[in-house]
Amino acid sequence: MSQQTPDRSTASPPARPDASMSLLTNVMDHSLDDGYAEASARRKADGSAGLPRTLKSRLGLAACLVLAALVVTLGAAEARVSAPVLAKERQELIDRIDDETTAADTLEAQVDKLRDDVGRRQRKALEKHGGDQGERVALLAGATPVEGPGVKLVVDDAKNTDQGGGGPRETSGFADTGRVRDRDLQRVVNGLWQSGAEAIAINGQRLTALSAIRAAGDAILVDNRPLVPPYTVLAVGNGKRLGTAFQDSADGRYLQALKDTFDIRTSMSVQQKVGLPVAPSLIVRTAEPYQAADTGSGAADTGKGTS
């Protein structure tokens, strides 16, 4: 029995070892997607037609930097050109301010000089035309300085006072402050006049019969001149008698009530010698009284008085 040899030409080829890894084989054989391949081909075509994209970007950036530098340079040049002009205008303005300030100071000095001259002439007129009461009239008008015995009364705000005054003082509410007010000084001055004071000054400001004590906000004005606490009131007169009379008066009791209720600080002392300056400004008024006609001559006797 003869054995038949198999025909090799008709036999199927043996299987590949990686036949079971077809997916991995496909990835390895075709590593680039069609889209990636197309993009790569297009990029190569563009590169062949012109410059590389990186070079274009660099040229664009360089152009932007050159333009920015040009703008900065032009701005600096313009500022350098305009700087001297601005400096010149500023200096001219400063010079004008200095000139006007000097002129204002000169005019103010002239006004003060003329005011002193007017006051001096007014005082002489009071002394000359005051008649028998000329000296007393000049004293009451503040036309002459005064020196003599008297009292010294110091009135000051309460400690840690931070609220303003000037308005009416009430017994409750926010108006309960320790700030000295204009009406307080008014009562003090009136009480001293009533107690026999011959002349009074507050913080060196001489008072007359026409002086006004007013408030402007938190400040107290005497004849439109602001004063600051403590308020030192000097009064010329019989020291002991004047001090006692004032303390016993209604205004003296009012001041004591301010001290007890609002902690306003007060002190009074008798002085052997008190000096008061002349009033800074005088108001001179004249009057012409007419007496009854003389039966003998039938003419009216006219006299001229100054107050």
> pLDDT tens-digit profile of 85-105?
777 788 889 989 999 999 999
Question: Any idea of the CA torsion for 120, 122, 128, 130, to the nearest 10 degrees?
Answer: -140
Structure confidence at residue 252 (pLDDT): 92
> From residue 170, how far is each of 8, 16, 89, 175, 220 by CA, in Å?
134, 116, 57, 6, 19
Q: Which of 31-35, 72-76, 150-154 has the lowest mean pLDDT?
A: 31-35
How much is the pLDDT for 163? 47
Read off the pLDDT of each residue in 178-188 and give the average, rounded to a whole number.
91
- pLDDT at residue 190 in the model: 93
CB 222 within 8 A of CB 204: no
Confidence of residue 25 (pLDDT cuts 50, 70, 90): low
- Quick check: 164 pLDDT over 60? no
Among 245, 140, 137, CA closest to 194: 245
Question: Which residue in this structure is represented by tokens 């002439």?
Answer: 121
What pLDDT was estimated at residue 303?
Answer: 37
Say whether pLDDT at 186 is over 60: yes
User: Higher model confidence: residue 146 or residue 166?
Assistant: 146
**Domain at 146-276, CATH class:** alpha beta
Tens digit of pLDDT for each residue in 192-216? 999 999 899 999 889 887 888 998 8
Q: Return the biggest CA–CA distance within the chain.
A: 207
Buried (b) or exposed (e) across 262-291, using 16+ Cβ within 10 A? bebbbebebbeebebebbebbebeeeeeee
Question: What count of residues does the chain have?
Answer: 307
Give residue 289's pLDDT. 62
Work out the pLDDT band at 174, boundaries 50, 70, 90: very low
Question: Looking at per-residue confidence, does 230 or 306 come out higher?
Answer: 230
Q: Look at residue 168 in the predicted model and tell me its pLDDT.
A: 42
Element (H, E) at 225: strand 225-227
| Domain residue ranges of the chain, discontinuous segments joined by + | 53-144, 146-276
Distance CA 263, CA 19 (A): 112
Contact 185, 205 (CB under 8 A): no
Per-residue pLDDT for 165 more than 50? no
Residues 6 or more apart whose CB falls under 8 angstroms from that of 188 comprise: 153, 155, 233, 251, 255
Percent of the chain with pLDDT over 70: 63
Average pLDDT over residues 239-260: 92
Any idea what the Cα angle at residue 233 is, between residues 230 and 237, rounded to 5°? 160
Q: Please report the pLDDT score of residue 256 as a whole number.
A: 92
Percent of the chain with pLDDT over 90: 26
Residue 148 contacts residue 176 (beta carbons within 8 Å) = no
pTM of the model: 0.52
Residue 153, SS3 per DSSP? strand
Give residues with Cβ within 8 angstroms of 81, minimum separation 6. none
- Of 189-193, 243-247, 297-301, least confident by mean pLDDT is 297-301
